[in-house]
Chain A
Amino acid sequence: GAGVSQSPSNKVTEKGKDVELRCDPISGHTALYWYRQSLGQGLEFLIYFQGNSAPDKSGLPSDRFSAERTGGSVSTLTIQRTQQEDSAVYLCASSSGYRGPYGANVLTFGAGSRLTVL
């Protein structure tokens, strides 16, 4: 697609329920990132995908969080047994994944999924 698409844009859930957040990256982008944005905390890195594999999942805060990516495209972030501290905006970004001529490339972000856990 033309941009990074995330759904749902807003999700309200009860404590203890599972939620799935979806990210559809820019077509052809092989790298995909998930970040979490909590009030006053900036952007916290969660996980990175290159293709379908996740070489860096060091930012996942607990084993309740998991993510997968299929077909080198769509990614799903799953939070099991949600807690109130999981309330945040979850941002997805994608990039070409290839080291450009200057050694880096730009991340393009989606609008985010706002999760509220009651």
Chain B
Amino acid sequence: AQSVTQPDIHITVSEGASLELRCNYSYGATPYLFWYVQSPGQGLQLLLKYFSGDTLVQGIKGFEAEFKRSQSSFNLRKPSVHWSDAAEYFCAVGSFSGGYQKVTFGIGTKLQVIP
């Protein structure tokens, strides 16, 4: 069974500082990986995805993530955080099984940005 671990439930960073949110997945084959962001009272918005190819993927809002197969990780990074980045971030792993795409989410990391 596939699973996702986000070890940090809460992270606080200063505005302008760099950010790295950790994500580790468990899946036997090459996974499909996603990062979503959820602002308060909103649904989930896709930040970026990895399906194949270049292991460093760029997303919206200046975010990037790197797929490291050897570490089973897909960490999200941003070089300089803005106050508007305060939200909850979810890592997810997808796979096809029995003809349908199963997507499993992590527990989420809540990001607080301080001035």
Chain A interface (Cβ < 8 Å from any Cβ of B): 4, 31, 33, 35, 40-43, 45, 48, 50, 55-56, 91, 93, 95, 97, 99-100, 102-112
Contact = CB atoms under 8 A, between A and B. Distances in A.
A103 B51 contact: yes
Secondary structure dominating the interface of B? strand
Contacts, number: 69
Interface residues of B, number: 27
B32 interface: yes
A77 to B, nearest CB: 15
A118 B39 CA distance: 26
A31 B52 contact: no
Contacts of A97: 100-101
B42 interface: yes
Contact of B107 (A41, A100, A105, A112): A41
Given A56-B102, A102-B52, A111 B107 contact: no
B51 A42 contact: no
